[in-house]
Amino acid sequence: MRTAKSFSCPVEAVVNLIGGKYKTVILWHLINNTLRFNQLQKQIPQATPKMLTQQLRELEHDGIVNRKVYPVVPPKTEYSLSQFGLSLIPVLDSMRKWGVEYIKSAGKQILSEK
Amino acid sequence: MRTAKSFSCPVEAVVNLIGGKYKTVILWHLINNTLRFNQLQKQIPQATPKMLTQQLRELEHDGIVNRKVYPVVPPKTEYSLSQFGLSLIPVLDSMRKWGVEYIKSAGKQILSEK
DNA sequence: TAACATACTATCTAAAAAGGAAGTAATAAT
DNA sequence: ATTATTACTTCCTTTTTAGATAGTATGTTA
């Protein structure tokens, strides 16, 4: 797991760890679910396998997700939140709440735009 | 203010709006404070004026911060959170809480690394 | 023997984000 | 006339991030 850089402010730390393009979405899907690579791919089709692998590796490297490889053929790999990853749930949740409201009001706004 | 894209998941919306390198930090400093450009610069010295301006303009464009220009010489510009920006406080706050814990435990970790 | 499944990896290109250094505008004070 | 102040803007370069496409490994099944 990476050691912390010094941040000028605590919120920076979060952006640093989960600010990647697909990271929050990946984490979102892993709350309450252990998923295989191709299940994640189906849930997040806009991410290419390369991107998905890359983001997952970074999350793993940062100790946020667990990656469990089964030595079988065809391959089987399971991703889940680590203990540390679980600690991010409140953050993800407050983001979700805000996002839901935002999407709601953005919808209204589009309707009210003439 | 930008209209919402469609997001595959609500948390994405947040990252989209405040995922920029210095945005959360800027917002953090603007909670409870109206600040002038050079005050922000002093608080966030790692951001060049160009970056600071850019991020502030995006935040303004997204309706998150207010920018008030006084037509005086030398110039005076004040930045503050808008109503919409205020709605992000719970998110910023959960990030802060997590960040504080993270920094704490990262410190411990560094100590325990032999 | 060939095709299939799964989880990637590799390579190359393109686009986006960030960094650095210098410059501008307007007026007031010296 | 020169300098100072403040909030930028411009231009150019470098770095980072992302995308597209194709390929690999390995047993299992048809």
Q: Is the dihedral of CA A6, A10, A14, A16 positive or negative?
A: negative
Q: Which residues pair with B69 in a beta bridge?
A: B77
Q: Which residue has the tokens 């909670």?
A: B31
Peptide bond into B74 cis (omega under 30): yes
Q: Indicate whether B68 belongs to any domain.
A: yes
Which CATH number is A45's domain given?
1.10.10.10
Q: Indicate whether B99 belongs to any domain.
A: no
- Chain A closest CA to B15's CA: distance in Å? 7
Chain A positions contacting chain B at CB under 8 Å are 1, 3-4, 7-15, 17, 19, 21, 24-25, 28-29, 44, 46, 87-88, 90-103, 106-107, 109-110, 113
Model confidence pLDDT, tens digit, residues A8-62: 688 988 998 999 889 999 999 999 999 999 999 999 999 999 999 999 999 999 9
DSSP character string of A17-52: HH-STTHHHHHHHHTT--EEHHHHHHH-TTS-HHHH
Q: Indicate whether A78 belongs to any domain.
A: yes
Q: Indicate whether B57 belongs to any domain.
A: yes
Q: Provide the domain count of chain B.
A: 1
Model confidence pLDDT, tens digit, residues B25-51: 999 999 999 999 999 999 999 999 999
